[in-house]
Every structure is written in C-alpha cells, then in structure tokens.
Amino acid sequence: MADIHASVQARAAGQLLTKPVLEVADLAVSFDNASNPGAPRIQAVAGVSMSVFPQQTLAVVGESGCGKSVTALSTMQLVPSPPGRVDRGTILLEGTDLLSLTEQQMLSVRGGRVAMIFQEPMTSLNPVYTIGDQILEAILLHQKVTVEEAIERAINSLETVGIYNRLKERFKSDAMALKRGKSELLDEYPHRFSGGMRQRVMIAMALVCQPTVLLADEPTTALDVTIQAQILELLRDLQRSRGMAIMLITHNLGVVAENADVVCVMYGGRVVEYAQVFELFDRPMHPYTRGLFSSIPGLQHRLRRLTTVEEVTGNPAEFRKLPGAERGVIPWWPGLPKEARPPLESEREPYCLHEIQPGRWIGCWRTPELAAQGSRRPELDYRRDS
Amino acid sequence: MVTYLVRRSLLMIPTLLGITLMVFMLLALAPGGIGASMQAAGGQGNTTGIAQQQAYLEDRYGLSDPVIVQYAKWLSSISPIKFGTRDLRMQSGERVSVPRPIPAPSLPQVFPPPAMPSVVFTPSTDESQIAEFKALQRDAEGTRRTYVGSVRLFRDALADVARAVGAPLVGRLDGKGGAKANEFADVLTVLDAAQAQAAQDAVVGTSASSNIDATHKPDASAATVRVAQLAQARAKLFDAAKSMDTKWALAEETRQRATIAFMAGPYPKSGFPVIPNLVSLDTSDFGVAFSKNRPVWDLIIEALPVTLLINLIAFPISYLIAVPTGVIASVRRGSWFDLLTGVLYLSLYSIPTVLAGVFAIGFLANNQYLGLFPVSGLHDTTADTMAFLPSTNAAGVYKCGWLLDVMWHIALPVLCLTYGSFAILSKQTRASMLDNLSADYVRTAKAKGVARNDVVVRHVFRNSLLPLITMFVGIFPAMLGGSVVVERIFSVPGMGSLVLDAISNNDRDLILADVLMIAAVNVFALLLADILYAVADPRVSYE
C-alpha cells in the first residue's frame, strides 16, 4: 500500500519514478463485417489507453470479445489486415510509435523487444519442426550469434523455464549424460511434450531474446490448475530477474488477484476501470467490475445463488454510486437506459476515461464537464512487494 | 519402421493375388469366355480347317481349361518359385519347358484304349544335339496339333450323329456345336437304337400287312434313306475315332522322344534349384500375348519407356505450375490472381481431353491451320539417323537432332496431359495452405519476428505437404499406366495403347500382366506415400 501512495504522490508532484515501457493511447481497431459487407465495421477496440511499467504486470481482464487480444495483437501489429484496421491511436514502445514503423522495422520488434505467448500451447508450436529448430529460429532472427552460441542460448532458455528439472533428477550424478540429454531434448518434436511443457517451450522461445515487454495472451487458460500455477510462478520469477514488463491478458480473476500489479478491466472495446490490483479488488467502482466480482463463487459466503453481471449492470441505481454522480460522473455502460445517462458533450463520442481519484480511472459518460477536464492516459507505477 | 515395411510388403502379395483373380474372373465372364477373341471370324475358307486351327490355339494357350485352372497355371508361371522339372534356357534367353503331356482320348467300351507307345530313344550327345532337339520339338508340336485337330473332327462327327439321331442328343451339344468325347458311348447307344428303329420302319413300311392303320404306317422310302444316312454317320464317326487314336499314338510317341531329348539337356538349365527336381527359383514368365503372338514382357518393355517419357515431363510441369500458383493464391486470397487462376484452371479442367486432343491436332498440327506440330507418333521417320543434340552440318544446314525431335513430337500429348491437372492440384494446395495459414503456430512464428514470406515457405508450406503427397500417390500409377485417351489420340505406342489393345482383343496374358503391373505400382505408391508421410510429418510414426 505504501508503494502506491508514494507513486501517486510522486506523480502528483510531477515526477515519475520510472517511465512506462509500453504506452497505448486511444487505440481503435475495427474489422470488416465479412458476412454483411454493407454493414458498418465491427469496432473491436474503440479508444483504449493503458501503460505498462518495467517489471510490472498489467492484467487486462474482460469477457470474450472485449478487445483484450486485439489490443495485444495490435501492439505486435499482427492484426490481420484486411479485415482488420487500426483507426487511430498510438502504441509507444520506449518512446517509439510502433504503429508508424514499417513492416521491416516491426520484424525486429516482434520477438525481439516485444514477445508474445498464446493461449493454446497444443497448437502454437509448429508440429513439423523440433523445438530446438523453433527456438533457434527466434534467436538467429534477432541476435547476431553463431549456431553453436544459439544452441547454447536455447539450452539456457529452456533451463530457465524448468524444462530440464525432470532430466536433472534422473542424471543427478552424471554430468555428461545430463548435458547430452539437454541437447537431445532440442531434437524432440512438440507432439512429444505435454501441454504444460509446451507452454514452457513457448515461454522459453518468447524470452530467449530478452524482450522488454511480454504480451501473455491467456497463457494458462488451456492448462490445468497445478500447471497454471507453475507457469505463472515461472513468469513472475523471470519478470523479477529480467525486469520485464508483462501484459497479462486473462479472464480468470483468481490469476489476476495472484499475479497482477495493475488491472485494466475492459468491456466492449473500452477500458471501464483501471486501478491498482488490491484497490480494485477491495473497492470495485464500476458496476461492471462489481458485477464481475459478485459473480465469482466463494466459499466464505453462504449464498442461495450468485449475482450475475447483468443484475448489477441492469440496475441504474448502481451507476449513481460514484463520487460526483450528482455532477454527472456516471460510469459508461452501453446498456444503460437513455434516461439514466447524463447529458453528453457529443453523441458521437459518448465515452471518456475519467481519473476519479489519484491512481483510479473509470470509464464514464463524456459529459461537457468531464470533456473539459480532458483525460489523461492511465499510468500506475506500482509493483506489489514480494 | 522396418517391421512395418516388411509387413506392408507381405500384405501386398494377397492384395495383388486378389486383384488379378478378380480381373481373371471378369475376363471369364466376358461373352464367349477368355478365348472369345480367338474364334475365327467365320465365312471364309474351309470351316473344318478353321475349327482345327482354333482347337489348336485353345490347346496351346490352355483356353479350354476351367477358369480357375487357367488362373492357377498363370500364377505358377509368374511365380518365381517353380515346381517340377526346371526349364531350359536358350542362348537367346527364351525359355523351353518340358513338353506338355497329351490327354489320351477316352473312348471306353467301344474302342479299347490305345496302348501307350513305349519309346526307346537315345539322343545324340554331340553338336547335333541342339538341332535334333529342335527337330523333335517341332515334330512334337506338329503331331500334337494334328491330334488336337482330329479330336475336334471327332467331336464334330459326334455332333453330326447327334443331329442325325434327333432331339435327345442335340441338347447335349456344347456351345461350339461339338459334343463331349466321353459321351461317345451314350451316342452310340442312341445311334444303335435309332438304326434299329429305322431298319424296322423300312421293313414294316414295305410289308402289306393290314393290321397296321394306314395313317400310322411308316413311310418306307424315308426310312430307307434314314437307314443309309445313319450308317454313313456311323461310319464317319468310327473313322474319326480311329484316326484320333492313331494320331494320339503318334503324338504321344513324338512327345516322349522330345521329353527324352529335353531331359538330356541340350541347353543349360534355367533358374536356381532349391530342392533338386522339385522346387526351383526362376524369373517370372508373363506368357505370350496371343493377339500379337509375342512375349508379354517384350511388349511392356517397349511401351513403358514411351509412357514414362511423356509422363515424366508432364507431371513435373503440372506440379511446378500448379503448386506455386496454389501457394500464391492462398497467400493472396481473394485477389485478382486468386480469382483469375481459379477461373482459368477450372475452365481448363472442364475441357474434355478428347476434345482438347482433337482440337490440338485439328488446329495446332493441321497444315491447313498452324501446322506447328506433328500429328502423331513419337519420332520423325528419319529419327534413327539423327544426332542426339541439335547441330549444323558442314554445309551449314541446321539439324534439330533426336532430342528436339522427340520433344517436338510429345509436345501436344504432354499439353493434353497437363492442362487438366492444374485445377485439382492448385485448388488442393490452396485449400491446404489456407487451413494452415490461420493456424496458431503461424501466429507464433509471426510473433517471433519471422518475415511473412518465410512464414509461408518455411512454416505453412511444410505443413501443407500431406494432401500433396496423397495427390501424388493418386497420379503415380497413371504415370506408368499411361493415359489411354491421350495415347490413342496421338497414336503414341505407350502403355495406354497397349492396355486398350489388350482389352479389345481380350488378350488374357497381356491384360493380366498390365493389371499386375499397375496394381503393383499402386500398392508400392501407397507404401511410398506412407513413408513420405512419416518424412513430412514427425507425428506420423510406424514404430
């Protein structure tokens, strides 16, 4: 808790402890409506802002289709185009706008400075190449090293993700056999690995070039709970030892509570709440966030049934709980009835991200007052102490 | 892997046997049976001679045997494991088998079976041995032929008797108008009765006895004629039987002489003995194509290189054009290139080969139009005198050479073989690429920073190979089997033409050899595909 206050105060005083490594500002991405060409484009991301600091884990949560993955893929410029298109916004990686880079320049960013791991470890590795080939490919693309050095690095990288733990137990006393076993493992094909092992290989591959930002798109969704915990633990360790920033995309709030420093809740292609993790869990402010939390089954409460998200967001009274509600600071929600909405500054852009208190951003209806205040990109230089 | 290969290879044997057995049965089911094409067209010349010739051919190729016996004989001739006396091999490489036994005429009861001639014969051992053996062989063949002809005559005589006697025997005639020799006794019994009846009728008809109603009185003159007719038929039948017996004795004696000469070994023995005089190993004998009167193997050896030449040019062309097109079309899905190639290839695919071939000849090869290519054949008439490569002679005259001549001749057949295959190949490539382009590992590769083209070539294409391998297996047998239509249109003497001739002539041995070869290539291609699968995709394993 001390940390966040220090951070907030420092920021209030106009000085940041560190600069964010990745900043997304007002990003909007839309897709062609393939099934109905006359229809308007599908707005997957409609003005998203967030920032990630070194060694920080930013958790992006939200239901399917809320734009989490598209945000991450836009960062890598991997949104297939067509049908996808970046409408506006900037994505700054250490000050460089990634969206303005050429494809050639992006090649060195992808896998080099920004790496990404995906949800499906079972299908994310190419089945016809050995894991050694696939890791070496990443190394040789980004680093000027000989093949021998690259192999060395690949082995080290697999070492860090704990692929060799089993092997080490087996060849405790035999160093030569262990060494041979390590390089033999590089010649194995992905189908010979379990899901957890494959995800470790994926992580090793992503981290082998020492990226500054790791985009983890639901890295543990397809894994069972034990492996999930191991993988997250591993990511946390690597983050600490390398000072790497992680954007952790998930819809598992348990994972968020355990691992995140800062949480960005998204809905409908927009950020609805952006806060430090403990504050968010202690005091969710946006009705959608409250709805999400109330729908988590818990053992401590005896409930006849769980509250659904719709029950919370469907109740206009829930939207009047923000401080400043009387001034028209009403949480943005596309399903809110017209009469419950405050008068907007313009019908075309109904949303703005409002810093309701230091270090706390809520997506609000864009009233003339809030529009006049302007909106600042959310950034929270906070890391949980551990 | 080795175990798997061995198991698959062993499984090929029953598969091939099954396929050939089926084809054999289909041949037998054809109207007229396996020997149908051997039947004389009729109408010309003396019918007895034609019938004898036909009987001889049937005997020579074993066409009158039951189908299953013919199949067993064919199997034993193609089997590398031979039983019984080993063949001899002449210097020319031709094989000589031991003279076949001759079935004895079975005329029990009436004629005592002719005594088996006992032959004492010492073949010469000096340089005249081969000449002597050849003469004996020729004699044996000749006497056997005469005997087989006499059997045919005897059966005709038997059929004449049956017709003369009347209804009860006509029903017993076989499809060729003959009767079975072992029905001789039956025929005689009926004949005796008929003769007695006719004789009695003649007597009764002439007597003026009044106790017989005039309406039931036999016609005496007709009965007399009938008596004479029957006597004549009987005499003919007995002549034929006697002649058959004598000819058998002669044929059998010559055969025994020839056998003794054969055993003396005028030529070296063929093959390799496993158990002396019982089992030996030898090369397969595919028999003689009776429509062309040439060894089947020679015909295949002549036709196969022609087909291989055309197809080894045509198939790489189709792959080299269709596969890259499919890859590009998949990467630029929905672009003008994708649409254009799709429409173009599908319209090409929709043109029947027959039509394309006729148009190609009519417009490209016809002198009234473009006349760019030769109409048919594989070589110029002067091809034998050509140098291999193009050259200019001393007088400065340009000669195109053998290579260009052949290329020029096969251009149109190759065109007709390739144009239709683009559609399937490129669509298959495109579909397979599209499947993989959206795969998760492609996203991973892109996220690693692999350039777009490298992703396509290194990651996607490698994963799209499996359907292409399957397609390759499909067309591989066609490569050896030849294209019946194209070869026929352009008069190319390849495997396709050979198969078509064989089928239209119902040529048993040629059809079987073709079927066996195509089936074997098919089975091997499947095995090859399985091996290639394992090479292309490490997840496939045959351990």
Q: What was the pLDDT predicted at B328?
A: 92
Q: What was the pLDDT predicted at A86?
A: 87
A201 neighbourhood in chain B, CB within 8 Å: none
C-alpha closest to that of A186 among A111, A145, A135: A135
Which of A188, A210, A232 delimits the end of a domain?
A210
Tell me which chain A residue has its CA closest to the CA of residue B460: A126
Best B441, B448, B541 residue to mutate vs chain A (most A CBs within 10 Å): B448
Tens of pLDDT along B47-61?
A: 677 777 777 777 777
A198 neighbourhood in chain B, CB within 8 Å: none
Please provide the DSSP assignment of A208-255 as one string.
TT--SEEEEESTTTTS-HHHHHHHHHHHHHHHHHHT-EEEEEES-HHH
For the residues B2-29, what does the mean pLDDT come to? 89
Q: What was the pLDDT predicted at B339?
A: 93
Q: What six digits make up the tokens of B458?
A: 């290194």
Whether A139 has its CB under 8 Å from any CB of chain B: the answer is no
Tell me which chain A residue has its CA closest to the CA of residue B438: A80
How far does the CA of residue B438 sit from the closest CA of chain A (Å)? 10
Polymer length in residues for chain B: 543
Q: What was the pLDDT predicted at B18?
A: 92
For residue A123, give the nearest of B440, B449, B450 by CB distance. B440
Q: What was the pLDDT predicted at B338?
A: 92
At B209, the pLDDT band (50, 70, 90 cuts) reads: low
Low-confidence ranges of chain A (pLDDT < 70): 1-17, 386
Q: Which residues numbered 398-457 in B keep a CB inside 8 Å of some CB on A?
A: 439-441, 443-452
Please provide the DSSP assignment of A37-92 as one string.
TTSPPEEEEEEEEEEE-TT-EEEEE--TTSSHHHHHHHHHT-S-TTTEEEEEEEEE
Q: How far apart are CA B267 and CA B317, in angstroms?
A: 50
Q: What was the pLDDT predicted at B325?
A: 93
Residue for token digits 């000072």? A243
Contact present, A74 and A86 (Cβ < 8 Å): yes
User: In sequence order, which residues have a C-beta less than 8 Å from that of residue A155 and are 6 or more positions away?
Assistant: A182, A183, A186
- Is the pLDDT score of B417 beyond 50? yes
At B212, the pLDDT band (50, 70, 90 cuts) reads: low
Torsion angles phi and psi, residue A84, rounded to 5: -80, 160
User: What ipTM does the predicted assembly reach?
Assistant: 0.84
Q: What six digits make up the tokens of B199?
A: 């004789």
Contact present, B518 and B482 (Cβ < 8 Å): no
Q: What six digits make up the tokens of B95?
A: 């094989």
Tens of pLDDT along A145-196?
A: 888 888 988 888 888 888 887 778 888 888 888 888 888 888 889 988 888 8
Whether B272 has its CB under 8 Å from any CB of chain A: the answer is no
Tens of pLDDT along A318-377?
A: 787 778 777 778 888 888 888 878 877 777 788 888 888 888 888 888 888 777 777 778
Which of A210, A241, A260 delimits the end of a domain?
A210
At B109, the pLDDT band (50, 70, 90 cuts) reads: low
Best B441, B454, B458 residue to mutate vs chain A (most A CBs within 10 Å): B441
Q: How far apart are CA B6 and CA B12, in angstroms?
A: 10
For the residues B79-90, what does the mean pLDDT come to? 80
Beta bridge partners of B9: none
Whether A202 has its CB under 8 Å from any CB of chain B: the answer is yes
- Is the pLDDT score of B344 beyond 90? yes
At B350, the pLDDT band (50, 70, 90 cuts) reads: very high
CB-CB under 8 Å, B451 with A107: yes
CB-CB under 8 Å, A141 with B450: yes
Q: What was the pLDDT predicted at A2?
A: 47
Which of A191, A210, A229 delimits the end of a domain?
A210
In a domain, A137, yes or no: yes
Q: How far apart are CA A330 and CA A312, in angstroms?
A: 15
CA–CA–CA angle B90, B95, B100 (5° rounding): 125
For the residues B457-476, what does the mean pLDDT come to? 83
Q: What is the distance, to the nearest Å, from the Cα of residue B212 to the centroid of all Cα atoms in its chain?
A: 66
Q: What percent of chain B has pLDDT over 90?
A: 8
> If you ran DSSP here, which 8-state letter would residue A334 be given?
T
Question: What range does the domain containing A175 cover?
Answer: 124-210
Beta bridge partners of B272: B281
Contact present, A386 and A237 (Cβ < 8 Å): no
User: In sequence order, which residues have a C-beta less than 8 Å from that of residue A131 and are 6 or more positions away?
Assistant: A125, A158, A185, A186, A188, A189, A190, A193, A201, A205
User: In sequence order, which residues have a C-beta less than 8 Å from that of residue A181 and are 6 or more positions away?
Assistant: A164, A167, A170, A171
- Is the pLDDT score of B220 beyond 80? no
A119 burial type by CB count under 10 A (0-12 exposed, 13-18 middle, 19+ buried): buried
Beta bridge partners of A96: A93
pTM of the model: 0.75
Q: What was the pLDDT predicted at B336?
A: 92
- Is the pLDDT score of B177 beyond 50? no
CB-CB under 8 Å, A191 with B448: no
Contact present, B279 and B290 (Cβ < 8 Å): no
For the residues B511-519, what does the mean pLDDT come to? 87
Going across the sheet that includes B81-83, the strands are: B81-83, B279-281, B272-275
- Is the pLDDT score of B439 beyond 90? no
Tens of pLDDT along B282-294?
A: 888 888 887 787 8
Long-range contacts made by residues B232-240, C-beta under 8 angstroms, separation at least 24?
B233/B157, B233/B160, B233/B161, B233/B164, B233/B191, B234/B161, B234/B191, B234/B195, B236/B157, B236/B160, B237/B154, B237/B157, B237/B158, B237/B160, B237/B161, B237/B187, B237/B191, B239/B157, B240/B150, B240/B153, B240/B154, B240/B156, B240/B157, B240/B158
In a domain, A184, yes or no: yes
